[in-house]
Structure 1
Amino acid sequence: MTATVSLSLLTACSQPAEEQTSVVRPVKLFEVVNRQAQNLREFPAIVAASEEASLSFRIPGELLQFPVSSAMIVEEGQLLAKLDDRDIKNEVVALQADFDLAASDFRRIQSLLEKQMVSQSDFDNANTRLKASRVNLQLAKDRLGDTVLTAPFAGRIAQTLVENYQSVQAQQPVMILQDHQTLDISVQVPESILTQVQEDRVDPSYQPVVTFAGNNGTEYKVSYKEHATRVTPGTQSYEVIFSMPAPETFTVYPGMGATLAIDMTRILGNGNPGSEYIVPMTAVLKNNASGQYQVWVYNPDTGTVTPKAVTVGRITQSGITVTSGLEDGAQIVSAGLSRLRIGMEVKPLERERGV
C-alpha cells in the first residue's frame, strides 16, 4: 500500500504545471497627424461664374435671328441675336437724304454770305439745320446698330430667355452669358475666424485647394479674389471669394457645390507648421535615465510597443508640440506609460486622431 501511495505521488509530481498565460494589457492609442493637417479647415463652397451678364437690346423690336442656345460656347464679338431692322434702315435712308440736303443748303448759303447776298441770320439757320440733321442721322445709325446683339466677352450661354421671332421690349433680358474660363469659389466664413485675420500676417503666396464631388478628390489651387465686409443676411458669416481657371478635364458649372480646404496657419499667421505634431500631454514621458522625452509607439503588425525619443516644444491648449521624432500616421500610447515595457504585447482599447 505504501508503494502504491508513493507511485501516485511520484506520478502527480511528474505532471508538467500548466503554463501561466501572459496578460495582454489594453492601451489607449492616439494617431499622430501633422499639425498642418490638424489646422486644415474645410468650408462648403458654391461655384459661380467670375463674370456674368444679362444681355438685352436697347430698343424694342421683333427677333429676326437667334442663332444661339443654352450651353453654347461663344467668342467675343460673335453675333448672338438680331432684330428686324427694315424700318430703321428706311429711317436712316430718309435722314441721310435730309442731312445731304441740309449740307448742300449750308454750303450754298455760306457762299452767298461771303458775297454778302444773304444775312447772318440766314446762315445761322442753315448751320442749325445742318447740325440737327447730323444728330438725327447719327441717332438713327445708333438705333440700327442696336438691332444687333454681340457677345461682350467670350463665354458660355447659361440660359436663353426668349425665342426667335418673338417681340421683345427695350432692356428685356434675352439671354445670360457667363465666363467659362474662370470660376469663382464662394464660401461663408464665420466672424469668429475673420476677426483673427490680420492682413499683414497672411501668407500672400498661399493658395487654398478646392475639391469637387465626383472627381475622385482631385485638388485644384485657388487664389484669393475679394471678400465682403457686409454680413450675409440671416447669418453671422461673410462671403469670401476665390478664383481659379476652369478645369480642362472635368466639367464644372456655376451653382455646383465644392469643398474648400484652408490651412489656417497660413491665413492667421501662426507660422509654418513644418513637421510639428500636437499630441496629448499624457502621451509624452521623460526618461529619468537618459533625460530625454519619449513616446511609446504601437506596432500593429506585432501588437507590441517600443519607446522612441522625441523633441518637444511648447504646450498648447490641445496638447504638447513634438518637433521631431514622429511621423505621420504613427500610433502612440496616450495613457498609462509608466506601466509599459519594451516589446510588451498590448491590445488597442481606443484610437484617437489628432484634432
Structure 2
Amino acid sequence: MKTYSYYSLSIALIMALGACSSGNHDSGLPTDDTVIPVRVQPLAATDTAGTVTATGTFTTDDETALGFRSGGIIQQLRVKEGESFRKGQLLTAVEATEINTALEQAQLGQEKAERDYRRARQLYADSVATLEQLENAKTAFDAAKQDVQRASYLVGHTAITAPFDGYVLQRPANVGQVVGPGTPVLVVASHAKGGWLLKVGVSDRQWSAIQLGNTAMVTTDALPEKELHAEVVRKSEGIDPQSGVFNVYLKLMGAPSSALASGLFGRATIHLAQTSGVWLIPFDAMMDGDGRKAYVFVTADGKTARRVEVEVSGIQEDHAVVTAGLEGGGSLIVSGSPYLRDGSLITIK
C-alpha cells in the first residue's frame, strides 16, 4: 500500500512553493480561505475478490517419515532414493544386540520373581511369611512380567517393513549411523495415489483470509508455460516453528505425476472468496498510512474537504481495498490532497 510520510509531504510543499515564487512574491501557502483545486471521483461500494501469492514445495498427500521406536545403529538399509517397494517388504533395521540382551535380562528377572513368589506363597501357607511379604512378592512378579512385555515389544520394532506399496522420496540416514528414537530414516510415499500437494507458507493475515475450498493457479519450472489448477484442502492450526509461517496445503487437480517430484519449488496464486461492500481507491488518494489504517479526503458538497480515517484490508493491482470509513458517500478527492486540511475550501477541476 502506498503511503505518504510527513517528510514527503514537506518536500511536495517546498516544490510547490518554489514554483509559485517564480511568478509572484506571495508565499504560496494556502490559507484558511484559499480555494484549492482538486480532482474527485464518485464513491461507490463494490464487490471484489482478492488474491494471495505464495511459494512452497510439492509433496504428496500420504508422504510418511519412517523411524525406529528406539534408537540404535542402523544395520540394514535395503532401498535407495527413488526405488519402489512392496507392502510388507523389509526396508531397514537396527543392530538388535542391545535390545535382545535387555529382553534376556527381563526374562531372567521374571523367572527369579516367579520363584520368589512361589516360595512366599509356601512360607505364607506355613505361617512363616507375612501377608505383606506375600503381596510384595506378587507385585515384583507382575512387574517382571511387564518388563518382559516391554522388551519383547522393542525387539519387534528393530526393523521397519513397508506399510504400503510405494517408493522412497528421501533417505536421510545411512548404514552404521546412530539414530535416536523417532529420527526419520526413510521418507516414503505411495506413488502419489492420494494426489500431489503444494505446501506454501503465508503470513497470519493471509492465513485468516484463506478459506478451505479456495481455488488457486500453480506454476512450476518443472512444467514451464503450464498452469495447474488447485484447491485449498488443509490449513495448519499453528505456526511452523522452523519457518515462522503458517502452512497452507493446495491439492493439485489432474497434475501429471511423472512430471513432479517431492521437494520441487512451486508458486501459487490463491483466489480468495468474494468480499461485498468495499471501496477500491487509488493509492494517490491516501495520506499518512499506518498498518491497516490511512486517511483520505472526501467531499459531500463539492465545496469543502473532509478528512476521514479508513481501514485498508489489502491491495489489488493499482488500488487499495477499503473496508470501512467511506460509508458516508459523496466523492473521493484523488488529487490535491497534500495541500488540504480538514475543512479546506475546494473547487473541482
> When the two structures are superposed, what TM-score results if normalisation uses the length of structure 2?
0.49
Larger radius of gyration: 1
